[in-house]
A and B are shown apart, each in its own frame.
Chain A
Amino acid sequence: MASPQMRVRSEQQPAERERKAGLRLLNAERSEEIFPLLLEEIIALGHKAAFVARVDFETSSITPVASLNYSRGFLQKQRSTLFAMENPVIRILHTFHPEIVPGKARSGDGGLYVHPMVYRNRNACWEAERSNAGTCLAVANFHCKQRLNLPDQVCGTCDMRAYAAVVCVELKPNAKPAEVAQLGALVELANRYLSRIFKVEHYYNRMTDMETTIGQMRTVLESMADPVILTDAQHRVITQNKAAERFFKLPDEVSEGRVRAVELNNLLFSAALSSMAVAGVDSSRDMTLVDAIEGEEVLFEAVSAPSYGPDGRRTGMVTVMRDVTELRRADEELRQNYELLTAAEEVVRQDRDRLNLIIENVGDPIVVCDKDAKIVLLDPLAAELFGDEKAERTAIHMRNQAKLDAYIAAFTYSFSDRESAPLHLFNPGSEAEVEYDARSGKIYDERGMVAYTVSVLRDLSAVRRLEQLKMERRMLEMEKFAVAGRMAGTIAHEVNNPMEAIKNCIFLLQDSIHDDATPVYQILKTETERVARIVRQMLGLYRNTEQVGNVDINSVVEDTLMLFARQLDRSGVRVERELGDLPPVVGSADQIRQVLSNLVVNAKDSMAQGGKLRMRTRVAKNGIRDIITITIGDTGCGIPPNMLDTMFEPFVTTKGERGTGLGLWIVKGIIENHGGKLRVRSQVDHGTVFRIELPLVQ
Chain B
Amino acid sequence: MSERKPHILVVDDEPNVLVTYRLILQQQGYTVSAAITSEEARNILQQDGVDLLLCDLSLEKQQSGFDVIQFGRNRSPGLHCVLLTGYASVEANERAEQENIPVLFKPIDIQQLLQVIADFLRKTDESRQAQHGH
Contact = CB atoms under 8 A, between A and B. Distances in A.
B90 interface: yes
B106 A497 contact: yes
A504 B10 CA distance: 14
A265 B21 CA distance: 137
A529 to B, nearest CB: 9
Contacts of A505: 20
Interface string A506-546: 01100000000000000000000000100110010001101
B87 A493 contact: yes
A500 interface: yes
Interface string B50-84: 00000000000000000000000000000000000
A161 interface: no
Contact of B108 (A492, A500, A544): A500
Contacts of A496: 86-87, 106-107
Nearest to B92: A543
Contacts of B20: 500-501, 504-505, 507-508
A498 interface: yes
A504 B14 CA distance: 13
Contacts of A499: 107
A543 B17 contact: no
Nearest to A499: B107
Contacts of B89: 543, 546
Given A493-B87, A508-B23, A508-B27, A536 B105 contact: yes
B23 A497 contact: no
A493 B84 CA distance: 13
Interface residues of A, number: 22
A510 to B, nearest CB: 10
A597 B106 CA distance: 20
Contact of A497 (B14, B19, B88, B105): B14
Contacts of B90: 543-544, 546-547
B87 A501 contact: no
Contacts of B86: 492-493, 496-497, 500, 535, 539
A127 B16 CA distance: 168
A561 B89 CA distance: 25
B14 A501 contact: yes
Contacts, number: 60
Nearest to B86: A496
Contact of B105 (A507, A539, A547): A539
Given A493-B87, A504-B24, A539-B87, A498 B16 contact: yes
B110 interface: yes
A489 interface: yes
A504 B23 contact: yes
A536 B88 CA distance: 11
The bracket for how many chain B residues form the interface is 10 to 19
A497 B17 contact: yes
A536 B109 CA distance: 11
A503 interface: yes
A491 to B, nearest CB: 11
A539 B17 CA distance: 19
A536 B21 CA distance: 19
B50 to A, nearest CB: 21
A392 B21 CA distance: 89
A92 to B, nearest CB: 160
A243 to B, nearest CB: 113
Contacts of A546: 89-90
Contacts of B27: 508
A502 to B, nearest CB: 9
A489 B107 contact: no
Given A501-B19, A507-B110, 16 more contacts: A493-B87, A496-B86, A497-B14, A497-B16, A497-B17, A498-B16, A500-B14, A500-B107, A500-B108, A501-B16, A501-B17, A504-B23, A504-B24, A536-B105, A539-B88, A543-B88
Interface of B: 14, 16-17, 19-21, 23-24, 27, 86-90, 105-108, 110
In the A-B complex, the 5 residue pairs with the closest CB atoms: A504-B20, A496-B86, A501-B16, A532-B107, A497-B14
23 contacts: A493-B87, A496-B107, A497-B17, A497-B106, A498-B14, A499-B107, A500-B14, A500-B17, A500-B106, A500-B107, A501-B16, A501-B20, A503-B110, A504-B21, A504-B24, A504-B110, A507-B24, A508-B20, A508-B24, A508-B27, A536-B107, A543-B88, A543-B90
